[in-house]
Amino acid sequence: MPVKSLLDEFKQITRAVGNDAHRFTEQVTILFQDLLLAHPQKAFQALRVVKPVLVYRDAAIVTRFHDVVEVLTHDREFTVDMYGPPMQKITGDFILGLNQGPAYERGSSLLRLAFRQSDAPRVADLAAETAGRLVAEVLPSGRVDVVRDICDRVPAALVAQYLGVAGPDEPTLIEWSRVLFAEMFVNLTHDGVIAEQAAVATAGIQPHVDALVAGRRAALAGGEPARDTVLDRLLRQQALGSQALTDAEIRSNLIGLLVGMIPTISKASALAVDALLDRPMEWAAACSAARAGDHPLFARYVDEAMRLSPQTAGLIRRTVTDYRIARGTHHETLVPAGTYVFAATQSAMLDGSVVTDPTEFRIDRPASDYLHYGAGLHTCFGRFLNRLVIPAIVKAVLSIEGVRRQPGAAGELAIDGNFPTSMVLTFPRL
Ligand code: HEM
């Protein structure tokens, strides 16, 4: 859609909703979601040129690289206040819903001691083993649904084995995580159906996690050896010191982490496989990197696939003070206090003034070109794991001899709302 039509649509919304700021935000969000689904790259490209920081009433869209980073790194002005209400209902306090301050510092520090950067290689091995086992299971059939059979199941297994939070069964755990993610991060328009599904999932997951915490506490008290899981480590922190997370906080954090893990890793991996399938040369080169055991090179292919097919179009913040974005440039823009700001990371990663040949698939980019995991205070907590785990999943799929899309619609990546639901690949049976 040309930028003129986009701006015309904004004007129409203005006329239709009058002075109702809440309805305006809703309408713009709906418009923006539709545009993103239909032609995201075109919409962003137009905005980057014509109106890099578009502010209207209490909504703003920021599309250039430096401005997106400015928003995400100015956490005192651009807060995460809007995550608070849905999170309170689902998890209670969780770091992504907390602004900079003592509560954030305490939560993130205690969590980092239990969810450690040094675990990443072990967790990636677990991901590779699980993905390898799941691939081996489908080999006799000559067919795999990448989303259902692999991408959803690997992070669910990691949640069970690394966090220590198995579901009542795996499909329920996956479903809970999707529904809760949708309510916390996608349901900006307060869709009642999503909210209701989230209420049901919350009513299921909270007592389930409480029971797991109580069960592990009793087992440890009874002399059972500690498991090497985030849950057992958090319980051990309690035994060691008064600063530790309470049981209610452990529940909040475990739910927050699993919601952050399953839908995101699944979607990012499925999108990366899809993007590589569309590029036979890069697919072949990635396969040879995999065969050669060159993990860093393989990870570059995955990073680039993720940049061109990102897991999210952007991140939302709310200003608590008037702020001038891009001060001193020709597009310096005042964003008033109380504005909902959409920092379009997808657009930033395609900004040709920073990213060389932005629409080309290149594996020689500096790490700083990638904003998959956000920037600033709330940069993804799982990033150290993701950088190893997502390539491990993608590699397991690529390594299936003779794998290709099933002809027809089933072979395309199907997305329902925010999440991939299916993509069928076929290969010669073993
Ligand atoms: C092990 C898996 C993951 C875990 C445990 C996890 C957890 C988290 C947590 C706790 C935060 C908030 C950090 C903070 O407030 O300090 C966060 C932020 C974020 N995560 Fe992840 N995440 C995971 C996977 C992913 C994946 C696969 C992606 C994308 C491909 C992703 C993208 C992001 C982004 C963009 C943010 C910033 C959100 C914002 O600033 O609004 N995460 N993640």
pLDDT along the chain (430 residues), means of 10: 58 69 61 69 85 87 97 98 88 92 96 97 97 97 98 98 98 97 85 93 97 97 96 94 90 97 98 98 97 97 97 94 98 96 96 97 98 98 97 97 97 94 94
Q: List Cβ<8 Å contacts ≥24 apart for 115-123.
A: 115/230, 115/257, 115/381, 115/382, 117/384, 119/162, 119/385, 120/384, 120/385, 120/387, 120/388, 120/389, 121/388, 123/158, 123/162, 123/385, 123/388, 123/389
**Which atom in ligand 1 lies closest to the alpha carbon of residue 158?**
1
Domain ranges of the chain: 3-426
Q: What is the CATH architecture of 3-426?
A: Orthogonal Bundle (1.10)
Q: Is the CB of 310 under 6 A from ligand 1?
A: no
Sign of CA dihedral 268, 270, 272, 275: negative
Shortest-distance atom of ligand 1 to CA 316: 41
Ligand 1 binding pocket includes 257 (Cβ within 6 Å): yes
d(CA 195, CA 403): 39
Residues linked to residue 59 through DSSP beta bridges, in sequence order: 56, 340
- pLDDT at site 430: 74
pLDDT of residue 239: 87
Whose C-alpha lies nearest to ligand 1, atom 20?
Answer: 380
Q: Give the pLDDT confidence score for residue 1 in this predicted structure.
A: 46
CA angle 381, 48, 36 (to 5 degrees): 65
pLDDT of residue 305: 98
126 lines ligand 1 (CB under 6 A): no
Contact 107 CB / ligand 1 (< 6 Å) = no
The predicted structure's pLDDT at residue 22: 58
